[in-house]
Chain A
Amino acid sequence: MKKKWGIFAAILLTFSMILSACSSTSGGSSDKDKSGKLEIFSWWTAGGEADGLKALIKVFEKKQPDLKVNNAAVAGGAGTNAKAVLATRMQGGDPPSTFQVHGGAELMAWVNSDKMQPLNDLYKKNGWDDKFPKELINMVSKDSKIYAIPVDIHRGNVLFYNKKIFEDNHLEAPKTFDDFFKVADKLKAKGITPLALGDKEIWPATMLFENILLGKLGPDKYKALWTGGEPFDSPEVKESAEIFKKMLGYINDDHSSRAWQDASQLVADGKAAMNVMGDWAAGYYTSLNLKPNKDYGWIETPESDGDFMVITDTFGLPKGVKNEGDVKKFLTVLGSVEGQDAFNPLKGSIPARTDADPSKYDDYSKDAMKDFKSDALTPSLAHGSAAPESYLTKVNQAVNIFVTQKNVDQFIQSLKDASSELKK
């Protein structure tokens, strides 16, 4: 009897030891291999994004065969999980070699807390100063120090629409807000949901609003909002809120249970006619085997022709990494035409450089590349480029409330109250 129990206890213990040992070896503990390997931290874990990243790494490894890359991508929550992990790592003084971060305010959060190194020498060495648009470089700079290399560009102010619905009802894609509401009324009369929205996570609704702001205020005043140069209770902002309110009368009932893809899907399935989304939706349509210009069409969101709402992924050099030289080698490839042309066609984005080869891109992207060169570039609020996270959190909350309550005055007041966060 007593032996049995001894053995039982021993088995119990060894078994659990073995199991925990197994799991710890199978788990990629990043701490051990940070010295030698280049750790590329991102949230590109699936689909075209992951393929693009792999292609980029391949280009790099061909050029630097003796350097090993560790693809440390974190899945889930459209980057929110990755950002949480990054935050804990930075707090613990364990930065990855380089990490994905949206240009603008999101990058500046790291710069302001003194965690990033300037890369002006890298720009000078590679002659990049005139290869990226000036406005884009401004988004990754502070006090004329450049802190990151943009690798891709997505456009935020795109209105996608179902071609068939528009043709069947003899409608034109709306260029102005008046057009939009005329089209929407006709569609509504036919029993078609005019505008698809999926605000289970709130940012698609915030995107819709920022695009109305851009349309009504124009790029300069829009940008001035975030720097304190333009008040939130101006007539234009109020008008934007009114338009936003009116638009919300044309959306699908179950918007709050849908994610952005589910809203795009409504347009794809012909259950809704239009959807305002970033141009990653084009990539999503491609994955559904829909053809650009045949199954779906696109146009700038109303009154934002000539403006380009930029969402850009950038990579920088954190302070405290051991292999600075290697990281710079990687960043050099990331900023090169070759690197960007390997990455972007697969991801479905366009290159941040203006001298890339258009023949490698699909019809939608060619169109976007042309606009990118000539348009005024504006930072997206919903994607963390225009304003600090603390402000965005408050705006998202205000938008969530507004979508239901539709109280314009209260909404404007919330935006105004939140603006104290902009000065921090």
Chain B
Amino acid sequence: MAKAVSRGTIYIILIALSLCFLIPPYVMVITSLKPFDDVSLEHMWALPSSLNFQSYAEAFDKLLPNLLNTFYLVIPATLISALLGSLNGYVLSKWKFRGADWIFTMILFGMFIPYQSILIPLIQFLRSIGLYNSIPGLIFVHVVYGIPVTTLMFRNFYANIPDSLLESAQMDGAGFLKIYRHIIMPLSITGFVVVAIWQFTNIWNEFLFAVTITTTDQQPIMVALQNLAGSQVVHWNIQMAGAILAALPTLLVYILLGKYFIRGLLAGSVKG
């Protein structure tokens, strides 16, 4: 009896909290579907009188170039940094040398720094090598500052591959690269998926580098969304449609590959 009551309470609390958590998506979706005249403060909570996709068309029109920029940025940056992280993780877990752990900790620190503390030199540097205000510049930045987290994830991942596997391969005369290609790589598909999802989401959502390194036609989607939503002059239905468009890719990744997303989240959080 008491158990049933407490279960009931649990459901009530969970449902109440869920409803709170669903306020933003609810408001986002209904606002974005309202025609322009329907968007008024008084009727913010009401369902749209009729479905209207005009705001999506307008938001899409405004954000498309930036959406493409983000794709050009995210895909190469994710792939390169995953590859790099995998190699680093491999070395740091399976080819430990003296001081390797120490170096790993030093690398890891780079994951936590506020990027403000490297921005000023970074911009000067990018400027001097001609990559300022360019997508390749941003790719470079995300690859470099993605090293710590991808290395960490792969290192933790490879720690689960038993050393005996490598040893027997070494017995067979396989060297560093051969082991990587024939043993580690095939075993790290999950690792690659987890890291790729993690990097994809992070780079997609990143703002500070994007807003300081690129301008106008090179800007990724998040900067464009922020510019679009800068004041109430751009109508709310368009802002909300824009926000949904900008959020959709990462949301889809979460919906389709949520399991790996959570694994990445746990792997990226260092072991306590």
Identify the A interface with B (CB < 8 A): 1-2, 5-6, 9, 12-13, 15-17, 19-20, 22-24, 26-31, 45, 73-77, 81-82, 84-85, 88-89, 91-92, 198, 200, 258-262, 265
B124: chain A residues within 8 A (beta carbon): 91-92
The 5 A-B pairs at the shortest CB distance, nearest first, are namely A259-B231, A16-B76, A23-B72, A23-B135, A261-B233
Least CB distance from A361 to B in Å reads: 24
Least CB distance from A88 to B in Å reads: 6
Bits for B51-93, please: 1 = Cβ < 8 Å to A, else 0.
0000000000000000001001101100110010000000000
Task: Work out how many contacts link A and B, with CB atoms closer than 8 A.
Answer: 99
Q: Is B217 a contact of A27 with CB atoms below 8 Å?
A: yes
A73-B216, A88-B123, A265-B232 known; A15-B75 Cβ under 8 A: yes
Tell me if B114 is interfacial: C-beta within 8 Å of chain A. Answer: no
Least CB distance from B127 to A in Å reads: 4
A23-B73, A265-B232 known; A85-B130 Cβ under 8 A: no
A288-B72 Cα distance, complex, nearest whole Å: 37
A6-B181, A12-B83, A29-B134 known; A22-B233 Cβ under 8 A: no
Q: Give the residue of B185, B216, B232 whose beta carbon is less than 8 angstroms from that of A261.
A: B232
A71-B181 Cα distance, complex, nearest whole Å: 50
Q: Give the residue of A6, A26, A74, A261 whose beta carbon is less than 8 angstroms from that of B215.
A: A74
Tell me if B150 is interfacial: C-beta within 8 Å of chain A. Answer: no
Q: Is B227 a contact of A88 with CB atoms below 8 Å?
A: no
A27: chain B residues within 8 A (beta carbon): 133-135, 217-218
Identify the B interface with A (CB < 8 A): 69, 72-73, 75-76, 79-80, 83, 123-124, 127-128, 130, 132-136, 139, 181-182, 185-186, 212, 215-218, 223, 227, 230-233
Least CB distance from B225 to A in Å reads: 12
**Closest A residue by C-beta to B123:** A88
Q: Is A258 a contact of B232 with CB atoms below 8 Å?
A: yes
A91-B120 Cα distance, complex, nearest whole Å: 12
A265-B181 Cα distance, complex, nearest whole Å: 63
Q: Is A20 a contact of B123 with CB atoms below 8 Å?
A: no
Q: Give the residue of B75, B76, B216, B230 whose beta carbon is less than 8 angstroms from that of A259.
A: B230
A22-B72, A85-B133, A91-B127 known; A12-B79 Cβ under 8 A: yes
Q: Is A28 a contact of B232 with CB atoms below 8 Å?
A: no
For this complex, 12 residue pairs linking A to B, each with C-beta atoms less than 8 Å apart, are A1-B186, A5-B185, A5-B186, A16-B75, A16-B80, A17-B76, A23-B72, A23-B135, A24-B134, A27-B133, A259-B232, A265-B232
B217: chain A residues within 8 A (beta carbon): 27-28
A24-B232 Cα distance, complex, nearest whole Å: 34
Q: Give the residue of B76, B79, B130, B215 whose beta carbon is less than 8 angstroms from that of A81.
A: B215
A23: chain B residues within 8 A (beta carbon): 69, 72-73, 134-136
Given contacts A30-B133, A75-B215, A261-B233, 10 further A-B contacts (CB under 8 A): A5-B181, A20-B139, A23-B134, A31-B130, A73-B216, A84-B212, A85-B215, A92-B127, A200-B231, A258-B232
Least CB distance from A396 to B in Å reads: 18
Q: Is A24 a contact of B135 with CB atoms below 8 Å?
A: yes
A26-B185 Cα distance, complex, nearest whole Å: 34
Q: Is A265 a contact of B216 with CB atoms below 8 Å?
A: no
Describe B's contact surface by its main secondary structure: helix
Query: Chain B CB within 10 Å — which of A19, A89, A265 has the most?
Result: A19
A26: chain B residues within 8 A (beta carbon): 72
**Closest A residue by C-beta to B82:** A12
Describe A's contact surface by its main secondary structure: helix
A84-B132 Cα distance, complex, nearest whole Å: 12
Q: Is A265 a contact of B182 with CB atoms below 8 Å?
A: no
A22: chain B residues within 8 A (beta carbon): 72
Q: Is B75 a contact of A19 with CB atoms below 8 Å?
A: yes
A263-B215 Cα distance, complex, nearest whole Å: 27
**Closest A residue by C-beta to B134:** A27
Least CB distance from A351 to B in Å reads: 27
A45-B216 Cα distance, complex, nearest whole Å: 9
A24-B76 Cα distance, complex, nearest whole Å: 12
**Closest A residue by C-beta to B75:** A19
A17: chain B residues within 8 A (beta carbon): 76
A91: chain B residues within 8 A (beta carbon): 124, 127
A19: chain B residues within 8 A (beta carbon): 72, 75-76
A12-B79, A23-B73 known; A261-B134 Cβ under 8 A: no
Least CB distance from B4 to A in Å reads: 47
A424-B72 Cα distance, complex, nearest whole Å: 45
A261-B127 Cα distance, complex, nearest whole Å: 34
Least CB distance from B126 to A in Å reads: 9
**Closest A residue by C-beta to B135:** A23
A45: chain B residues within 8 A (beta carbon): 216
A85: chain B residues within 8 A (beta carbon): 133, 215
A15-B76 Cα distance, complex, nearest whole Å: 7
Q: Give the residue of A9, A24, A28, A88 whose beta carbon is less than 8 angstroms from that of B136.
A: A24
A9-B128 Cα distance, complex, nearest whole Å: 32
A92-B125 Cα distance, complex, nearest whole Å: 10
Q: Is B215 a contact of A259 with CB atoms below 8 Å?
A: no
A89: chain B residues within 8 A (beta carbon): 127
A13: chain B residues within 8 A (beta carbon): 79, 83
Query: Chain A CB within 10 Å — which of B76, B124, B212 has the most?
Result: B76
**Closest B residue by C-beta to A81:** B215
